[in-house]
Structures are given as structure tokens and as C-alpha cells.
Amino acid sequence: MPGCIEHPYAAPDIDRYYYPLTVIYYHDGELTQKALAEKLGKDKSIIVKIIDTLTDKGFVYRQINPDDRRQHLLGVTAKAKKAVPHIIEAFEHMNRSAAKDISANDMQIFESVLNKMKINLVEFKNTKTTIS
């Protein structure tokens, strides 16, 4: 849904990768690229593209892990520290708007169905299917 995050509090210099940026923000300087890939369930090559984009926009930086020089730890810049709280607020506002007039019981059913679908898709992904 293009423009879904358009909100007065949203950061102006970023138009995608909000969630990866938020994850890096909460683990500032402690998360490796590999750990981010695992947390997000994304391929390492996709994570490199995401980090490159966030680095080019001035939100994220890489630093060599002093405990293992083969790894890069991900940190957020002052720009990200200023922007991420606004991004979080924009998503919270969007979620409140989306859930307006939906009962707690209906939300619980919705979340339960989504979790079941997620489990089904994980099982499907792990099943080898032959198309003839």
C-alpha cells in the first residue's frame, strides 16, 4: 500500500525498510548482519541491500566486531536516533487507525488466524512439492 506510512511524524528521508531500521535501533551496536537476516527471515544478500540503502541515507553504519573481525556490527546514526521514534509513532498511529472499532475479541481471533496461517506457510515452505 504505497503511502501507507505517510503521517506527519514519519521521517522524510526514508520511504522503506522501516522495520529493519527499527530492529537495528533497538539493538544498536550489538547486532550482526547475519543476526539481522535471521531475525527478519531474509536472505543475507537482501540484508546487504537493505543495510547499504540505510547506510547511503545516513541512518545506519557498519563497524568491525572487535570479538570477530569477520563480522560487522550494525549501529544507528544520530539521524536514525532522531527519526526512529517518529517512525514508531507513525506505525502506532496507523495501527490504532486500522484497529478502530474492532473489538478486542475480534483482534484476538484475527491474530490467532494469522498465526495459524504463518505456521501453515512455514510447513508449506519446508515441504518439497513436485509439479507434474
pLDDT in tens, 106-118: 999 999 999 999 9
Q: What is the predicted pLDDT for the residue at 1?
A: 47
| Single-letter code of the amino acid located at 14 | I
- Quick: pLDDT tens for 6-26: 555 556 678 889 999 999 999
User: Which run of H or of E encompasses 31?
Assistant: strand 31-32
Tell me the CATH number of domain 18-102, given options 1.10.10.10, 1.10.3370.10, 3.30.230.70, 3.40.50.970: 1.10.10.10
102 φψ region: left (φ > 0), alpha (ψ -120 to 50), beta (else): beta
Do 21 and 90 contact (CB within 8 A), yes or no?
no
Average pLDDT over residues 122-129: 80
Give one DSSP letter per residue of 41-72, joined into a string. Answer: T--HHHHHHHHHHHHHTTSEEEEEETTEEEEE
- Neighbouring CB atoms inside 10 A of 23's CB total 15
Q: How much is the pLDDT for 128?
A: 73
Q: Domain coordinates of the chain in residue numbers?
A: 18-102
